[in-house]
Amino acid sequence: FIFLFSLQNNSIKTSKYNFFTFLPLNLFEQFQRIANAYFLFLLILQLIPQISSLAWFTTVVPLVLVLAVSGVKDAIDDFNRHKSDKHVNNRPVQVLINGMLKDEKWMNVQVGDIIKLENNNFVTADLLLLSSSEPHSLTYIETAELDGETNLKVKQALTVTAELGEDLQKLTEFNGAVKCEAPNNKLDKFTGTLTLQGEKYALDNEKMLLRGCTIRNTEWCFGLVIYAGPDTKLMQNSGKTTFKRTSIDRLMNVLVLVIFAFLALMCLILAIGNGIWEYDKGCYFQVYLPWAEGVNSASYSGFLMFWSYVIILNTVVPISLYVSVEIIRLGNSFYIDWDRKMYYPLNDTPAQARTTTLNEELGQIKYIFSDKTGTLTQNIMCFNKCSINGKSYGDVYDMSGQRIEINENTEKVDFSYNQLADPKFAFYDHSLVEAVKLSDVPTHRFFRLLSLCHTVMPEEKKEGNLVYQAQSPDEGALVTAARNFGFVFRARTPETITVVEMGETKIYKLLAILDFNNVRKRMSVIVRSPEGDLTLYCKGADTILYELLHSSCDSLKEETTEHLNEFAGEGLRTLVVAYKNLDEDYFQDWIRRHHEASTALEGREDKLSELYEEIEKDLMLLGATAIEDKLQDGVPQTIETLAKANIKIWVLTGDKQETAMNIGYSCNLLNDDMEDVFIIEGSTSDDVLNELRNARKKMKPDSFLDSDEINIQFEKSSKKPNVIPDEQANGVYGLVITGHSLAYALEGNLELELVRTACMCKVVICCRVTPLQKAQVVELVKKYKKAVTLAIGDGANDVSMIKTAHIGVGISGQEGMQAVLSSDFSFAQFRYLQRLLLVHGRWSYIRMCKFLKYFFYKNFAFTLVHFWYGFFSGFSAQTVYDEWFITLYNLVYTSLPVLGMSLFDQDVDDRWSMLFPQLYVPGQQNLYFNKMVFVKCMLQGIYSSLILFFIPYGAMYNTMRSDGKAIADYQSFALMAQTCLLIVVSVQIGLDTSYWTVVNQFFIWGSLSVYFAITFTMYSDGMYLIFTASFPFVGTARNTLSQPNVWLAIFLSITLCVLPVVGFRFLKAQLKPTPSDKVLLKIKEAKKRPPPPSPKRRLRRTSTRRSGYAFSHQHGFGALIMSGRNMRPKSPFATTGTFSPNSDKHKHKGL
């Protein structure tokens, strides 16, 4: 084989490290964090004796701990990625090797290999189809992973390769040269040539099976690997893996820089102070406090003191901040993994936090970008209701005539009388079965139409075991419904359709299929019955078919329209069905002209279209069908709840416009109360611009005025603004845009117009979009909106948007694992998203914000005491506290209480979080931790440090013990200051804790106990005797802490530090409560009252004037059936007429 590009093997890799690269790469990544690099710099400073005022271990121990914890977490994350990669790469596939089929792993498949795939197999790589089990080497595939469509598509091998069949010898000897284009991401295009025995054959997309597809209704097929691994179109569409960081991470980097600047300013002030003090006063102390070796001037002493103070005051940015953040995120990730309410028992799938660094961002989501197929829907179509001759069927009523809701306890219709019925089919309205059994003519005609007017292929391997191969799930649902109600579609040839009608086998002659396309929005068949009657049966969109009806149907049309409006109001997909009896002479003339048109060389499509229009006139209305595109459980409620949390939902789907809109209505995204739903479907750049502007003009006319804030921004700056502020529309609107129009709207000059218009709408639906366009839409919102985005999908076509969004969520559904492998979080059902955001996300965000506020506060209070002490110690870089206290303060004494709060705290429990989605809004606005909140923490820390220095200083100044001995020494002051500090920060965390557990209590009281235990141990005589140099504070604890005046001063410090905080919080809640405060007050009151009984939901019949038409059919299947190219040999069961539900009572009627 010849290939014009570098060859890849078929393994995929989403992991970052291997055994050898982990350490260097991980350390390189970790030192890219400003703080880590800063601590390394500090460590180097501490190794210089002239400026080192603290022991080296005060920095080494925390730094090694941080790097180790982060490294272990990254290793676990990457190990999970390796596991996922291994799962995909080790899938088995049959490869042709030396004339034999051998089981091989996916990753070992090479370009040029010939592989065998069987029914329901995932396609291993991008293959050239060589042969298959189906007639003419057709192969049916489902491309849901690639484009979100569940309808079957047909691929066909070249005739020259189809002859190879499954003959392994011939396939082994197959010797050809393939030349094709370089790997690219175009899913619908492929260009290449196959040279075989000197002949050249053109290759196109119709002969290719792409990785990510699933083989359906085809026993086996053989394919030649063209692209493998990263070169496959699926992987080319999957986008780049970006390093995701939360907004709090980015803010922390900015704040760390601010703190560095503040640190430098403090050190500069103290260094200047030292220079002045040494120049003015230092000479008096030279005798017993000589300058260090090499220091010969006051200015040089000041320079050295600058660096000494950098070391001492470095705790304003404690290294333990980062290790604590990692532990908190890891802990909150485990909560997601362990949440039983997000576990899906049907396929044993728990929720999974695949990335442990993004939890708090889940509490700030403003935009959700969702796939439709498999994410909102189950990919299952059910025949739900119908209207026949003006009567609606499908609802169930109780004895009093009240409509009741259908659930698993509702009695199903018994179809046991029909041996050919599908046991999985469920229907609840018994009156329809009665109408069929009573031989009601319109009802029989209705189901006869459903059993004849379609392009479904039947398969009957065992007698009576019918399997339908439907090109679209809608058709499958309609034919299955007809089958259960006694009109069983049994077999077909290019010329005939065999139907078992109420136990009687009838063979209809198929004379023509007037195929479906997106313009006609209908399909018809013309058949001759066994009795010789000529009939045209038609089904299609109500908006189209109503124009073609005979005037005698007007009254029936009104009744049917009423039913259609009800069906559409319930979000069902509707089709209208009609028929027409044909005159023999007219038909013979028409079929002749049809033959001429179908063989015309020019204008064939137009001529055929005219003929179809001509015969599909004066139709007689039969009724309408209503199919439910089954939503996943809880989707409408989830969307409603998320909307209350002020989250905007955009649906990005590869499906058709009608289908996408229909789902929009059925899951409460769109509704009839909206002011308008704009449809953008322009075919040129100007058309799209005008449609977008007209929509914006209707939503907000003021947005075109010169005084508009955004327009002023445009005029002021020559370049486009980075962030567009939110604009409010004058009502509730929706927007639907097609992929073709979206391509224009995403161009440079239109993208701003698209963002402004779309973001004013409550709901946006983009249909017929490619995987790459999904990512571009997400990128556009990220670019122009200061908002956190989340993308959720279940297929490979969603991978690029999952990777692009701030948070990517994979639904582990039926579409393989591609989306899950690329996601940050995964679970089995869309409904779990509300719990992920409103409970876990909100809690994680609140906990992280509380943690950061407290952490910055306690470290400012701790560190600034050194600053004030500098003015009383000759700016000599003398520490206030014992060195061991400095080392253990962040690692032992204050780490567990804050971790306890950050892992267990919750302002309200999960039930209230879901009942009051409004509580989520502060996270979107980033109210709990921002630059202003940081400044407040800083000011509170400065205030506390003043109290914590001057109260102990004043209490100790010239103080005597009760026995007359002096207590006013440095060591007693240091001990008192550090005891005050620790008790104050412990009280502060008590005030910040909303939810008390045994663990919190244990951590707070335990930390204080550990402090006193360690202090008394370290300051004991024994420790001094063993390690004289390391523990100089001998006897200080028992001497100082036994004095009542010391404890009085400690109590005064606590009161002065805590009282302003308590007072401020009380007054703020009373005088200026936030929306969250008001909701929390409501919850507090609700808790006091017994919960009200849950209101019984009244089943309300909704109605709408819009069309509920949606039909996921593809053009071209009619011609394929009439040509007979996809026909198998005739089924012996279907044509003999020997098997039917009542074979002893009925005789076979033939032609």
Instruction: Name 649's bridge partners.
Output: 368, 763
DSSP state letters, 507-548: EEEEEEEE---TTT-EEEEEEE-TT--EEEEEEE-HHHHGGG
Torsion sign over Cα 964, 970, 972, 977 = positive
**Closest by Cα among 622, 650, 485 to 559:** 622
Distances (CA, A) of 955 to 695, 869, 878, 959, 978: 72, 15, 20, 7, 14
Whole-number pLDDT of residue 648: 93
Distances (CA, A) of 113 to 92, 184, 311, 618, 1035: 14, 20, 64, 57, 81
Whole-number pLDDT of residue 326: 80
Average of per-residue pLDDT across 696-720: 72
Chain position carrying tokens 């059910």: 382
Question: Would you state the structure tokens that stand for residue 388, as one six-digit string?
Answer: 């026949």
DSSP state letters, 1027-1095: STTT---TTHHHHHTT-HHHHHHHHHHHHHHHHHHHHHHHHHHHHS--HHHHHHHHHHHHHHSPPPPPP
The answer to whether 363 touches 837, Cβ cutoff 8 Å, is yes
Whole-number pLDDT of residue 1003: 94
Active-site annotation, residues: 371
Q: In the chain, what percentage of residues exceed pLDDT 70?
A: 87
CB count in 10 Å sphere of residue 744 = 21
CA angle 949, 953, 954 (to 5 degrees): 120
Whole-number pLDDT of residue 721: 56
Angle between helices 430-437 and 441-452 in degrees, nearest 10: 100
Question: Would you state the structure tokens that stand for residue 853, as one six-digit string?
Answer: 């506020």
Query: Ranked by mean pLDDT, which of 288-292, 372-376, 871-875 comes out on top?
Result: 871-875
pLDDT tens digits for range 1069-1128: 888 888 778 888 888 887 777 655 554 444 444 555 566 666 666 666 666 676 666 665
User: Would the pLDDT of 115 be above 70?
Assistant: yes
| pLDDT grade for 375, boundaries at 50, 70 and 90 | confident
Torsion of CA 348, 354, 357, 363, to 10 degrees: -40
Region of 287 (left: φ > 0; alpha: ψ -120 to 50; beta: rest) is: alpha
Question: Would you state the structure tokens that stand for residue 892, as one six-digit string?
Answer: 């032992």
Whole-number pLDDT of residue 53: 61
Flag the least confident range among 49-63, 490-504, 629-643, 797-811: 49-63
Greater pLDDT, 198 or 642? 642
Whole-number pLDDT of residue 922: 92
CA distance 1041 to 1028: 22
| pLDDT grade for 968, boundaries at 50, 70 and 90 | low
CB count in 10 Å sphere of residue 383 = 24
Distances (CA, A) of 326 to 58, 67, 483, 889, 906: 21, 11, 59, 19, 19
> Average pLDDT, whole number, for the chain?
84
pLDDT tens digits for range 12-33: 777 778 888 888 888 887 777 7
Average of per-residue pLDDT across 887-897: 85
Greater pLDDT, 103 or 1124? 103
Average of per-residue pLDDT across 310-330: 80
Whole-number pLDDT of residue 1074: 80
Chain position carrying tokens 């209480």: 897
pLDDT tens digits for range 829-838: 999 999 999 9
CB count in 10 Å sphere of residue 555 = 9
The distance from CA 314 to its chain's CA centroid, rounded to whole angstroms, is: 40
Greater pLDDT, 239 or 331? 331
User: Would the pLDDT of 1135 be above 80?
Assistant: no
Q: Is the pTM of this model over 0.85?
A: no
Flag the least confident range among 146-155, 255-264, 465-474, 977-986: 146-155
Flag the least confident range among 218-227, 492-501, 667-676, 1048-1057: 667-676
pLDDT tens digits for range 218-250: 899 999 999 998 888 888 776 666 667 788 888
Greater pLDDT, 53 or 423? 423
User: Would the pLDDT of 261 be above 60?
Assistant: yes
Cβ neighbors of 652 (< 8 A, separation 6 or more) are 369, 370, 371, 766, 769, 773, 774, 777, 801
Bridge-based pairing of strands 199-203 and 176-180 is unpaired
Residues of 478-517 as b/e, b for ≥16 C-beta within 10 angstroms?
bbbbbbbbbbbbbbbeeebbbbbbbbbbbbbebbbbbbbb
CA-based radius of gyration for the chain: 38
Chain position carrying tokens 């003398």: 878
Bridge-based pairing of strands 763-767 and 733-738 is parallel
Average of per-residue pLDDT across 1048-1065: 92
Average of per-residue pLDDT across 771-777: 88
User: Would the pLDDT of 1139 be above 50?
Assistant: no
Region of 457 (left: φ > 0; alpha: ψ -120 to 50; beta: rest) is: beta
Instruction: Name 117's bridge partners.
Output: 221
pLDDT tens digits for range 713-723: 666 655 555 78
pLDDT tens digits for range 577-605: 999 999 999 999 999 998 888 888 788 88
Greater pLDDT, 816 or 644? 644
| pLDDT grade for 876, boundaries at 50, 70 and 90 | confident
The answer to whether 72 touches 11, Cβ cutoff 8 Å, is no
Helix (H, G, I), strand (E, B) or coil at 8: coil
CA angle 947, 949, 950 (to 5 degrees): 70
CB count in 10 Å sphere of residue 1005 = 12
Whole-number pLDDT of residue 8: 67
pLDDT tens digits for range 445-501: 999 999 999 988 887 777 777 888 777 788 889 999 999 999 999 988 888 999 999
| pLDDT grade for 649, boundaries at 50, 70 and 90 | very high
Distances (CA, A) of 361 to 72, 275, 353, 905, 1111: 22, 47, 13, 17, 39
